[in-house]
Structure 1
């Protein structure tokens, strides 16, 4: 009986040690991940280090604000840019602005937007199960529509971009109650960080701290861009 009790005690002790080791391993992994994510933090992230990001919920575009609301939103975004010492590298407002802004961040030029769109649409097509629940229409119709140049990107295409490019995509927005949205890859650690400004439901631009902003030729403005 004594040997049996000792076996139980040894088993309990072993389980406890194993559990404690698991906790230590989890802590170590958390520290390592934190350090890896910190390496991604560029100048823009440091400027916004006091802001807590809002979790991202993928959704398609559902409405375009009226002129009055759009004007207020644009003013709010400009105030935030000024407050945090950030500026936009502006891209054309031709319906491809999300893809142009992503292209500018990744390739230092907005002109690769067709390539970026193609990669994102392939991600949507090849990984239907990841995105279909966010799309309130026939899924094939949705991604086929997204193939077309000039079709506005949405928050589903942003999630697909984060997954495809292994990127943490961060948005400084003009939303009244949501200043900073962070979009993380769903099944891998991010390898890069992309920063966009988002004039809510109207336009995306590429985002930099003022002193690091590249000088590029200004795109032609569309009549609805202020």
Structure 2
């Protein structure tokens, strides 16, 4: 019995040490990636060229309704037409449930594979500044955080606001909404130090946006929403 307890204790201690080691390595990786921010700033040329667009006030909200196939098809057609009009091109982002975070990672670090870093930083922001976001979440806030921590959980307009706040970024969305083609998400109480451009196929998918012809070469992806 004593030996059994001793083995269990060693196993538990080993597990805790391993977990702590993994967290430390993860935090070190995050710190290294975040250090890239200075070299990844967007020069704002898209905002200058598209300064005539009218935006609507951004209201953080969770996903409430997924459009049916017919509605989604019309929305995608509308978005595609807008991108042509604005001379913008999408970098196709993998449709694995992490698309919002992958698109943000591409804009921040020119690498969508850093989506785990972005999600982790967004969750930290949501935890530390709870009062800023809790009123927009129609469920227990702790349950919302637990759900949003999971890889593959779709990001929403609350996580977009938290990302804008955490990274001091103005996030520009070209959308498929009928009412407006463009939404600006600005950081709370901060002057933006960078601008991020995403396309938003309403409640279905996010892609990273560039001027037409400027999309960087990318590795083959496992899955796209559009192919």
Q: TM-score normalised by the shorter chain: which range applies?
A: 0.7 to 0.9
Q: 1:44–1:86: 8 Å Cα contact kept in structure 2?
A: no
> Which residue does the alignment assign to 2:33?
none
Q: 1:91–1:218: 8 Å Cα contact kept in structure 2?
A: no
Tell me the distance in 2 between the aligned counterparts of 1:95 and 1:146. 11
Q: Which runs of structure 2 are paired with 1:117-132 in the superposition (5 Å)?
A: 117-132=119-134
Tell me the distance in 2 between the aligned counterparts of 1:189 and 1:90. 29
Runs ≥4 in structure 1, deviation > 6 angstroms? none
> CA offset at residue 40 of structure 1?
6.7
Q: Give the unaligned 5+ runs of structure 1.
A: 1-38
- Can you list the C-alpha shifts for 1:135-162, whole angstroms capped at 9, x where unaligned? 0000000011100000000000000000
Highest Rg: 1 or 2?
1
Tell me the distance in 2 between the aligned counterparts of 1:143 and 1:46. 36
What is the TM-score of this pair, normalised by structure 1? Answer: 0.79
> CA offset at residue 211 of structure 1?
3.0
- Can you list the C-alpha shifts for 1:87-106, whole angstroms capped at 9, x where unaligned? 00111000000000000001
> Which residue does the alignment assign to 2:170?
168
- Can you list the C-alpha shifts for 1:35-63, whole angstroms capped at 9, x where unaligned? xxxx9762322332211111100000001
What is the TM-score of this pair, normalised by structure 2? Answer: 0.79
> Which residue does the alignment assign to 2:37?
none
> CA offset at residue 219 of structure 1?
2.3
Aligned residues: 187
**What is the aligned-residue RMSD (CA, Å)?**
1.5
- Can you list the C-alpha shifts for 1:58-97, whole angstroms capped at 9, x where unaligned? 0000010000000000001110111111000111000000
Q: Give the unaligned 5+ runs of structure 2.
A: 1-40
Tell me the distance in 2 between the aligned counterparts of 1:139 and 1:183. 22
Q: Which runs of structure 2 are paired with 1:1-226 in the superposition (5 Å)?
A: 42-222=44-224, 225=226
